[in-house]
Amino acid sequence: MKIINEIIEIETDSSIGIYNVTPRIEEILKTTGIKNGHVTVFSRHTTTALAINEYEERLLEDIKVYLRKLAPEADKYLHNDLHLRDVPPDEPINAHSHLMAMTLSTSEVIPIIESKLGLGTWQSILFLELDGPRQRTLLIQCCGCQ
CATH number for the domain including 98? 2.60.120.460
Query: Quick check: is 79 in a domain?
Result: no
Q: Is the CB of residue 52 less than 8 Å from the CB of residue 123?
A: yes
Query: Quick check: is 37 in a domain?
Result: yes
Query: Quick check: is 87 in a domain?
Result: no
Query: Quick check: is 128 in a domain?
Result: yes
Residue 22: closest CA among 136, 125, 91, 113: 125
Using pLDDT thresholds of 50, 70 and 90, give the confidence band for residue 119.
very high
Predicted TM-score of the model (pTM): 0.96
> What are the distances in angstroms from CA 97 to CA 8, 57, 69, 77, 146?
21, 22, 12, 11, 40
pLDDT (0 to 100) of residue 103: 97
Query: Quick check: is 120 in a domain?
Result: yes
Query: Quick check: is 80 in a domain?
Result: no
pLDDT (0 to 100) of residue 39: 98
Residue 146: closest CA among 40, 38, 32, 4: 32
For 2-45, write each residue's pLDDT tens digit: 999 999 999 999 999 999 999 999 999 999 999 999 999 999 99
pLDDT (0 to 100) of residue 8: 98
Query: In the chain, what percentage of residues exceed pLDDT 70?
Result: 100
Give the total number of structural domains in the chain: 1
> What are the distances in angstroms from CA 45 to CA 48, 67, 86, 127?
6, 17, 20, 11
Query: Quick check: is 98 in a domain?
Result: yes
Between CA 75 and CA 85, with CA 81 as vertex, the angle to 5 degrees is 150
Span 125-138, average pLDDT: 98
- Residue range of the domain that includes 10: 2-73+94-145
Chain centroid to Cα 2, Å, comes to 24
Query: Quick check: is 42 in a domain?
Result: yes
